Amino acid sequence: EAQVTQNPRYLITVTGKKLTVTCSQNMNHEYMSWYRQDPGLGLRQIYYSMNVEVTDKGDVPEGYKVSRKEKRNFPLILESPSPNQTSLYFCASSHGTGAHYEQYFGPGTRLTVT
Amino acid sequence: GENVEQHPSTLSVQEGDSAVIKCTYSDSASNYFPWYKQELGKRPQLIIDIRSNVGEKKDQRIAVTLNKTAKHFSLHITETQPEDSAVYFCAAFGNEKLTFGTGTRLTIIP
């Protein structure tokens, strides 16, 4: 089954404790990206990747890191989480090297930073 | 960068009536405009999209119109049904980025 998976689905952590949210897709998609969803703000892009070893900042990259060492995986790293990073996070992928194709979203990761 | 504004933020319509959601964008270079539906607790899913060389696209009860001159596009849902209740997001693609609107919560009243 074609899908995007994220882990963990729910995470409660404390300020400053490094964490990684994994994202994996099995559709051989070139393009992958991370979004955060906050009430009243919609979906805002954090980082995106057009292919292996190619990543770039989205609209809200501060406090986040990503890597794309393999085509199928695109982990999101929070080196020192803060309470303002409490949010619902979605990973997405699409074929082609851009977001001008259908984005397939993962199930979401709800992160709470205390 | 691109700025996408979406209105209204909430919309309630009687079952069977039509619903219209409008979005404006700022970057004239944007050339792809998708609409996503997000049901409660679920992930966003594409329902329809339109590219800049097309003015209108229809898929059963859903249609999207694009006015490139005015830089606005709209989602039209006809003969609304209870399962249309959800949050709808418009988006615009330009300069390698997809920028979303802030969402419209659509409620269908039985």
Contact B97 A102 (CB under 8 A): no
Residue A101 near residue A84, CB atoms below 8 Å: no
Residue type, B74: S
How do B10-14 and B104-109 pair as beta strands?
parallel
Q: Tell me which of A98 and A80 has the higher pLDDT.
A: A80
Residue B106 near residue B11, CB atoms below 8 Å: yes
Cα B26 → chain centroid = 16
Cβ within 8 Å of residue B60, ≥6 positions away: none
Cβ within 8 Å of residue B53, ≥6 positions away: none
Confidence band for B73, pLDDT divided at 50, 70 and 90: very high
Backbone angles phi, psi at B102, to 5 degrees: -85, -5
pLDDT of res. A55: 95
Cβ contacts of B51 on chain A, cutoff 8 Å: 100
User: What is the SS3 string spanning A19-35?
Assistant: EEEEEEECCCCCEEEEE
Within 26-85 of B, beta carbons closer than 8 Å to A belong to 31-32, 34, 36, 43-46, 49, 51
Instruction: Report pLDDT digits (tens) over B49-64.
Output: 999 888 999 999 999 9
To the nearest whole Å, the CA of A61 is away from the closest chain B CA by 13
Cα A61 → chain centroid = 11
Residue with tokens 């999209």: B49
To the nearest whole Å, the CA of A101 is away from the closest chain B CA by 8
pLDDT of res. B49: 95
Which helix (H) or strand (E) covers residue B68, if one does?
Answer: none
- Rounded CA separation B78/B84 (Å): 10
- Rounded CA separation A54/B105 (Å): 35
Instruction: Report pLDDT digits (tens) over A2-59.
Output: 899 999 999 999 999 999 999 999 999 999 999 999 999 999 999 999 999 999 999 9
- Rounded CA separation A26/A111 (Å): 24
User: What is the SS3 string spanning A38-106?
Assistant: ECCCEEEEEEEEEECCEEEECCCCCCCEECCCCCCECCEEECCCCHHHCEEEEEEEECCCCCCCCCEEC
Question: What's A73's DSSP letter?
Answer: B
| Token pair for A69 | 């060492």
- Rounded CA separation A76/A33 (Å): 10
Instruction: Report pLDDT digits (tens) over B91-100.
Output: 999 877 889 9
- Residue A66 confidence (pLDDT) above 90: yes
Of B36, B45, B97, Cβ closest to residue A99 = B97
pLDDT of res. A16: 97
To the nearest whole Å, the CA of A8 is away from the closest chain B CA by 15
Q: Is A50 on the interface with B (CB under 8 A)?
A: yes
Of A33, A45, A108, Cβ closest to residue B43 = A108
- Residue A98 confidence (pLDDT) above 90: no
